[in-house]
Amino acid sequence: MQVAASRKLFSQAQTVIPGGVNSPVRAFKSVGTDPLFIDRSSGCRVVDVDGNSYIDYVCSWGPLILGHSHPEVVEAIVQAASKGTSYGAPCQQEVEMAAMICAAFPSIDKVRMVNSGTEATMSALRLARAYTGRSRIVKFEGCYHGHADAFLIKAGSGLLTSGIPTSPGIPAQLAAYTLVARYNDISSVQALFEQYGQEIAAVIVEPVAGNMGLVLPELGFLAALRDITNQFGSLLIFDEVITGFRVAYGGYQTLIGIQPDLTTLGKIIGGGLPVGAYGGRRDIMDLIAPQGPVYQAGTLSGNPLAMAAGVATLKILQDSNIYAQLEQRCKHLTEGLGSVFSEAGERVVINRLGSMFSVFFTSGQVDGYEAVMRCDTERYAAYFRAMLQMGVYYPPAQFEVSFVSMAHREEDIEATIEATRRALESLP
């Protein structure tokens, strides 16, 4: 495995980009090596600038449910680009995308397109505060909702990886409006509502936590959140930036039959291009400018290229067989990995939902922030490096989620299981 070209690029990048990367987890700091610079991708594989090919379970952090460079998605982008890359004006594709989202999610009457998941959650929070006339929000330890100031309090994702509980630059007065509860612990939510109930505008939650690794909600947890927000007149916001169209065509909320007041989306609805969205009940969404007083705008919102890629992706996902196939492939992979880890005597817990999974180097149930923080991050880092040598690209952090795409074939899954066996044999 040659890495000279990646190392040279990383050295150059550090002189002109903070930390040499444009998103912290890409720096590979928590896995003890330098980042790979990707040159191209196709199907389930990425190829770095040194020519090394890897089976990819990052999938651009989730959007590429069909795999890299899917022909129909690429063709949609090419066709859209031939007509212009940006208008700063309404286009047909954004209307089509909005209609598809509203049809897929019973909780969404109207939707506003933005450019990222962070924009979506930030805008949904402002809208919730305007609708309720309240200022406080409740979020959960280890749940990441983008890098807006209100959310960087005990956040997940790269902040867990870096060991940073919050971020400098956030005024203490603003941070005080964010109340933090424990994921899967409804008593911690009830305690906050008992003290601040009439001040809480919204509870925002990843219905399936995906930014401290994959942590599934316990039975009744989300239903209890719906009940308590109804009781106190607060809004319930489901952050389905990761799970929307990933675990089911209408997101996780359709699987459990719970309707939030607002939903945030991203990733898959852009087909690999930058995108975000937030939507919900008509009476709430009608407060957004220009119809209402809550201001939010974006030059590239509803960009025709992103909309074309997203629409092409969603049309393919309407095939009901796809999610069953993804489920089967991911189950095959995680069961195979589990057997190999067990044979090697490794203390590992694998959480899986649909085509999402996380390998935690720990023992016992991984059901929340405290359990996640007991993981052996050094062991994960060693496993990551060994797998990279075997041609398998996992997320470069213990606290991220791996993804299986439609481009991962049985032979790729078997190759990954065998690579794991050989990787573990190479570890001390």
What is the set of active-site residues? 144, 239, 267
Distance, in Å, from the CA atom of 293 to the CA atom of 315, rounded to the nearest integer, reads 34
Sheet order of strands, 45-48 included: 38-42, 45-48, 53-56, 392-393
- What's the one-letter identity of residue 150? A
* DSSP run (H or E) holding 14: helix 4-16
Residue 228's alpha-carbon distances to 107, 140, 185, 204, 282, in angstroms, are: 18, 15, 13, 13, 22
Half-sphere exposure of 238 (CA within 13 A, CB side): 30
Sheet order of strands, 276-280 included: 110-114, 276-280, 262-266, 235-239, 200-205, 136-140, 178-181
Answer whether 229's CB lies under 8 Å from 23's CB: no
Characterize the bridge pairing of strands 136-140 and 200-205: parallel
Per DSSP, the residues of 133-171 read T--EEEEETT----SSGGG-BS--THHHHHT-SB-TT--
Give phi and psi for 164, each to the nearest 5.
Answer: -105, 115
Q: What is the CA radius of gyration of the chain?
A: 21
Q: Can you point out the beta strands (E) in 245-401?
A: 262-266, 276-280, 349-353, 356-360, 392-393
Distance, in Å, from the CA atom of 15 to the CA atom of 9, rounded to the nearest integer, reads 10
Per DSSP, the residues of 309-344 read HHHHHHHHHTSTHHHHHHHHHHHHHHHHHHHHHHHT
**CA nearest to 348, candidates 330, 357, 360, 336:** 360
Answer whether 264's CB lies under 8 Å from 157's CB: no
Residue 210's alpha-carbon distances to 107, 113, 177, 179, 402, in angstroms, are: 21, 22, 24, 20, 10
Answer whether 240's CB lies under 8 Å from 117's CB: no
Region for residue 68 given its phi and psi (left: phi exceeds 0; alpha: psi -120 to 50; beta: otherwise):
beta
Answer whether 310's CB lies under 8 Å from 273's CB: yes
